[in-house]
Amino acid sequence: MKNAYDKTMTGLLLFGSLLTLALLAYAAYDENLGADWYHHQSDYRCQLFARAATDRERQTAERFDVRQKQLYLPALGRIDRCITCHVGVEDPSMKNAQQPLTSHPGDIMANHPKEQFGCTICHLGQGRANTETDAHGHVPHWPDPMLATEELDRSCAKCHTQGPLPGVPRYNEAIALFHEKACVSCHLLRGQGGDAGPEITNAAEVDHGDMPKKEWHFKHLKDPKSVVEASEMPDLNLSDEEATALTFLMMSLTGEPIPTEYLSNPKPKPIEMRMMDPMAAKGHVGSQVCIGCHQGLHPDAVDGWRKSPMSSTYERLKNEPTKDNCLACHTTGFNPETGHYSEEGVGCEGCHGPGAVAVKFVLAGQVDKHKEAIRLNPDSTLVCVRCHNPHVPVGVHANHYRKQPPRSGQAGG
């Protein structure tokens, strides 16, 4: 009986060992020779040989190593194994191939080399995975599934906040509107801007209770007090299309830490340097900064200025061969010592004076001091006659000043 028992146990142990070895062998085969990536790479290697017309091309095909591949990106804290399947991503000859062997469309990788940026920083997904479903992130508990092609522009704002960028119209529209409304006058974005309002670097991650984040941002942009009763943000009178564009931008700002060298605007600029020409008179910020708030607070005044001759005064002299006597009145922020100016046309600061100090009062919440800083002299005629010379009729002023010798300083108009 004992011998029979021993033989049975020995047989079971042998069977269990062989089964374990078989399972290990199958797992090794399934993870490698039987894996989808192995077939993709083998297919790519065969295509390299099929297209090889020179010894060099044949040598390239022979050197291609079928194995798991990855991009190690310590600066981004990522490991991307996407190129294990997408091996033709940088091969222009694979332009018409089927996924995953096709080359990357467009020329975006010229400025975004995969060795520096990887794949998931733009496309999202699960970079360490090596099967299609897992890598694309469409699995339970993975928070960042791969973006659809039409949603890739959501990733631009991780590094770019200046614009415009080629081929991404939705981002360009949003970022242009963001700067037109001078949002950074009050909001801090990635180290730049003011502190009168909340920081928006991670606007897409902020929880707003039961209301979906996208819906909250849209309502907040349309009517700030509708979602934050005590909000001091002015009503910007945005159309639905404009609010949708800025909502898209807010939902793109995830606050993901990006190394400074990856950013399109790595160095914050002081408010005094937001001007067309740094050699112009100091302290000018440009009309767009003013309009960012005042479009909502005083829309009639802003629209009135836009339609007035003052906003386009530079247009009437841009073809003049000599502008020396014209720039003081047809531009804003003219510096008579250098001949440089901060803005074409007579902008907000042409009458209200340099706005840097006034903007700082707003950012500090000192609204009364801001109003005092931009208020016109009670006798506004003194402001007007700096350019509107009552002794030179409007109809002949151009010929009058053309005949004057070039001079620095203010010219009548």
| Integer CA distances (angstroms), 271 to 41, 277, 286, 347, 349, in order | 53, 13, 10, 17, 14
> Above 80 in pLDDT, residue 364?
no
* pLDDT for residue 28: 66
Query: Which three-class secondary structure state does DSSP give residue 125?
Result: coil
pLDDT for position 101: 93
87 inside domain: yes
pLDDT, tens digit, 9 for 90 and up, residues 147-158: 999 999 999 999
Residue where a domain terminates, one of 146, 172, 190:
146
Report phi then psi at 51, rounded to 5: -90, -10
Across all residues in the chain, what is the average pLDDT?
A: 83
Q: Does residue 238 fall inside a structural domain?
A: yes
pLDDT, residue 269, reads 41
Residue 185 to residue 297: CA distance in whole angstroms: 15
Query: Is the pLDDT score of 245 beyond 70?
Result: yes
Q: Residue 363: is its pLDDT beyond 80?
A: no
Q: Examine residue 412 and state whether it is found in any structural domain, yes or no.
A: no
Average pLDDT over residues 90-99: 91
Domain boundary among 198, 233, 261: 261
Does residue 386 contact residue 336 with C-beta atoms inside 8 Å? no
- Confidence bin at 358 (pLDDT 50/70/90): confident
In a domain, residue 381? The reply is: yes
pLDDT at 271: 36
Give the pLDDT score at 275.
39
* Choice among 333-337, 340-344, 385-389 with the minimum mean pLDDT: 385-389
Residue 104 has pLDDT above 90, yes or no: yes
pLDDT score at 24: 76
Cβ neighbours for 258, distance < 8 A, ≥ 6 positions apart: 76, 158, 159
Mark whether 288 and 380 lie in a shared domain: yes
Could you tell me if 139 and 192 lie in one domain?
A: no
Residue 321: the pLDDT is 78
| Residues 257 and 331 grouped into a single domain | no
47 belongs to a structural domain: yes
Same-domain check for residues 252 and 218: yes
On whether both 96 and 206 belong to a single domain, the answer is: no
State the Cα–Cα distance between residues 346 and 314, nearest whole angstrom.
8
Task: Evaluate if residue 127 carries a pLDDT over 90.
Answer: yes
Give the three-state DSSP class for 258: coil
- 7 occurs within a structural domain: no
**Average pLDDT rounded to a whole number, residues 291-301:** 78
Q: Does one domain contain both 113 and 70?
A: yes
Radius of gyration for the alpha carbons in the chain, expressed in angstroms and rounded: 32
Q: Looking at the domain assignment, is residue 246 inside a domain?
A: yes
Asked if residue 406 has a cis previous peptide bond (ω within 30° of 0), the answer is no
DSSP for residue 170: H
pLDDT on residue 5: 73
For the residues of 337-403, what is the DSSP string, one character each? TTTB-SEES--HHHHH---HHHHHHHHTT-HHHHHHHHPPPSSTHHHHTTT--TTS-GGGHHHHHHS
Q: Which two tokens stand for residue 352?
A: 């209200």
The 10 Å Cβ neighbour count of residue 70 is: 16
Q: Both 196 and 245 in a single domain?
A: yes
Q: What number of other Cβ atoms are within 10 A of residue 365's Cβ?
A: 11
Asked whether residue 162 falls in the same domain as residue 140, the answer is no
Domain count of the chain?
Answer: 3
In a domain, 224, yes or no: yes
Domain boundary (112, 146, 180) is at 146
Q: Which two tokens stand for residue 168?
A: 């991404």
40 and 138 assigned to the same domain: yes
Confidence of residue 13 (pLDDT cuts 50, 70, 90): confident
For residues 161 and 157, what is the distance between their CA atoms, to the nearest angstrom?
6
First to last CA, the chain: 122
The CA–CA distances, whole Å, from 178 to 42, 189, 242 equal 48, 11, 10
- Do 140 and 165 belong together in one domain? no
Question: Looking at residue 202, which CATH number applies to its domain?
Answer: 1.10.760.10
Task: Specify whether the backbone of 333 is left (phi greater than 0), alpha (psi in -120 to 50) or beta.
Answer: left
Q: 251-269, pLDDT tens digit by residue?
A: 999 988 888 788 775 444 4
- Domain hosting residue 323, numbered range: 271-402
pLDDT value of position 155:
94
Together in a domain, 42 and 127: yes
Lowest mean pLDDT among 31-35, 54-58, 198-202, 215-219: 31-35
Of 44, 37, 36, which Cα lies nearest the Cα of 98?
44
For residues 234 and 297, the answer to whether their CB atoms sit within 8 Å is: yes
Tokens of 174: 């949003």
Which range has the worst mean pLDDT, 9-23, 38-52, 146-160, 234-248? 9-23
With 60 as the cut, is the pLDDT of residue 270 above it?
no
Q: Are 219 and 165 found together in one domain?
A: yes
The 3-state DSSP class for residue 26 equals helix
pLDDT, tens only, 29-81:
666 666 889 999 999 999 999 988 899 989 989 999 999 999 999 999 999 99
